[in-house]
Homo-oligomer: A and B are copies of this chain.
Amino acid sequence: MAEIKSGANPLFLREEELRQGLELLFYAYRDFNAEPDAILARHKFGRAHHRVIYFVGRHPSITVGRLLSILGITKQSLSRVLRQLIDQGLITQRPGPTDRRQRLLELTSKGIEMERQLSEKQRVRIARAYREAGAEAVEGFRKVLLGLTRQEMPSKFQPPGRLDR
């Protein structure tokens, strides 16, 4: 704690600093999702669909089980949106080559197109923020965010909860 207050930073300033970080994260996350939400709404989809599309695009041939553990939701929740995405022709399934119980998921060309539309908005936004902030700042951004992510609760006591609010 002693080594933290670099310079003339009394404790009650640190407090304010931390709160500011809190809010920054809150607003950034919120604004960051506004544009994709608008696109999704036109297709009668929600953020849950977005996440599934995103991760299937990111990890082609992913199994349902692996996707479940990435998303941290129940199979019942996943299957609702997955079913819609398959029915609408954005995602296909095929049996796993070695373990045929598995259903390997892929984006169709239509799914890829959708993925591109959605993430483009966010990539443009991040790209702008990165460019304006500079390479140095980007490195700091990543470092801090990584630090926020690691070290979870005992992992059995994580309340799953909604990912999108």
Contacts and interface: CB of A to CB of B under 8 A. Distances in A.
Interface of A: 3-4, 6, 14-15, 17-22, 24-35, 37-38, 41, 47, 58, 72, 119, 122-123, 125-149, 151-153, 157-159, 161-165
Main secondary structure, interface of A, reads helix
9 contacts: A18-B123, A18-B126, A22-B123, A30-B163, A31-B152, A34-B159, A129-B148, A133-B143, A140-B140
Q: How many copies does the complex hold?
A: 2
Given A27-B149, A119-B22, A136 B125 contact: no
A129 B147 contact: yes
A135 to B, nearest CB: 5
